[in-house]
């Protein structure tokens, strides 16, 4: 396992990186973060629509503390 790790977000085995996520999840994270930084009140569902990233994954990033979701932004989602 030395140079590999399981991605926290998609479960794929990937090369060890500084963050506990694979390259494709890091790319997803960067897209989400850009939107949240530009418009902090963007709803999760809108982030999902703009990026094509699943809502559940966006929430997973938030729960791991990678960015802050404003209160109310996850209301009404499945």
Given candidates 7, 53, 58, 69, which one binds Zn ion under the rule CB under 5 A? 7
Q: Quote the Cα angle for 19-57-33, to 5°.
A: 60
CB 8 to Zn ion: min, Å: 7
Residues 17-36 that bind Zn ion (CB under 5 A): 22, 25
9 binds Zn ion (CB under 5 A): yes
Which whole-number Å values give the CA distances from 3 to 6, 10, 13, 14, 19, in the listed order? 11, 18, 10, 9, 13
Q: Which is nearer to Zn ion, 7 or 36 (CB)?
A: 7
């Amino acid at each position: 396992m030395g140079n590999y790790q399981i991605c926290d977000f998609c479960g794929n085995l990937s090369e060890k990186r500084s963050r506990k996520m694979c390259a494709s999840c890091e790319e997803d994270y960067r897209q989400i973060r850009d939107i949240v930084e530009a418009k902090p009140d963007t709803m999760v569902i809108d982030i999902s629509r703009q990026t094509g990233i699943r809502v559940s994954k966006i929430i997973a990033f938030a729960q791991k503390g990678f960015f802050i979701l404003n209160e109310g932004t996850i209301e009404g989602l499945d």
